[in-house]
Amino acid sequence: MIIQEMTMSEFEEGLKKTKTVIVPVGTTEEHGSHLPLATDIIHVYEMVKEAATRVDVFIAPPVFFGLCRSTSQHPGTINISGDTFRSLVKEIVISLYTHKMRDFIIISGHAGGTHMSSLTEVGELLLNELPEVNIAIVSLFELIGKECLDVIETDGDGHAGELETSLVLYSKPHLVKGLGESSYPQIPPYFLIRDKRKYWHTGVWGNPTKASAEKGKRIFDIAVDKIVNLKKEFEKFKG
C-alpha cells in the first residue's frame, strides 16, 4: 500500500489489514559521475514497493534528505543538519502514529555513521514518547550484507561502487551514465577533513566497472526477501 497513491478511504481500509509502515530513507548526494544523486533512495524505495506486493504493509513517501558528512562538498549533494534530519523523521513517525500506525520499520539506503546514529537516536526518543510504538531501524547494507558476498566481486566495495551501480543498472538503467572508474581513496583516519574533495575527488569507493544488471537483480531479490521476512518477524516482536 503506497501511501502517496492512496485516497483517505483506502488508507482507512488498509488499517484493518495492518498497522505496520515502512519508511524508506536515503539521501540526495553525489554518487560519482555515473550514478544519479538520488541513488540511495531510488533502490531502497523500489525494493520496499516490491515487498508491499507480497505482504500487507504501508509504504511511506520516501525521505530524500539525510546526513552526508563525507560527500557534503561534492557537487549536487544536499546535506541537512542532524537536528533537521532527526526532527523530520520524528515528525513523520508521530504524524503516522496519530493515524493509528503502530509498527515502524525505517530502512535507509544510506549507511553513513552519523546518519544511522541519528536515526537510532530518534527511535529511542520515540519509544519513550509514544506508548504503543514499535520501531526497527536498519540500513539496506546491514540487511543484505552477508548474502551479497557471493554476488559482488569487489573487496572493500562501497559508495557508488559495484553493488550500488548494479542496483541502479537493474532498477533504473536509463539513469546510469557509463560505469565510472575504480577508486579507493586514501582518507587519513581519525582526522576531520576540511577539504573533503581533495582526498576523494571521484566520489567513488569501489569498482563500478564490475557492475551489471544481472548482479543488480540478484541483490534486489535478496533485499526484497529480507524486507518481507523483517516485516513478518517485526510484527511478532514487542520490545
The CATH number of whichever domain residue 26 belongs to comes to 3.40.50.10310
pLDDT recorded at residue 189: 84
Q: Is the pLDDT of residue 239 over 80?
A: no
132 is written with which cell numbers? 504503543
pLDDT recorded at residue 46: 97
pLDDT recorded at residue 148: 82
In this prediction, residue 186 has a pLDDT band, given cuts at 50, 70 and 90, of confident
Is the torsion defined by CA of 205, 207, 213, 215 positive or negative? negative
Average pLDDT over residues 114-122: 95
In which domain, by residue range, is 201 found?
3-236
pLDDT recorded at residue 109: 95
Question: How many domains are there within the chain?
Answer: 1
- Answer whether 220's CB lies under 8 Å from 46's CB: yes
- Which tens digits make up the pLDDT trace of 134-166? 999 999 999 998 888 789 998 888 899 999 999
Beginning with the edge strand found earlier in the chain, give each strand of the sheet holding 20-25 in spatial order: 58-59, 20-25, 103-108, 134-139
- Which tens digits make up the pLDDT trace of 37-96? 999 999 999 999 999 999 999 999 999 999 998 888 899 999 999 999 999 999 999 999
Indicate the angle between helix axes 162-171 and 39-51, nearest 10 degrees.
Answer: 60
- Which tens digits make up the pLDDT trace of 188-235? 888 888 888 888 888 899 999 999 999 999 999 999 999 999 999 998
pLDDT recorded at residue 212: 96
In this prediction, residue 238 has a pLDDT band, given cuts at 50, 70 and 90, of low
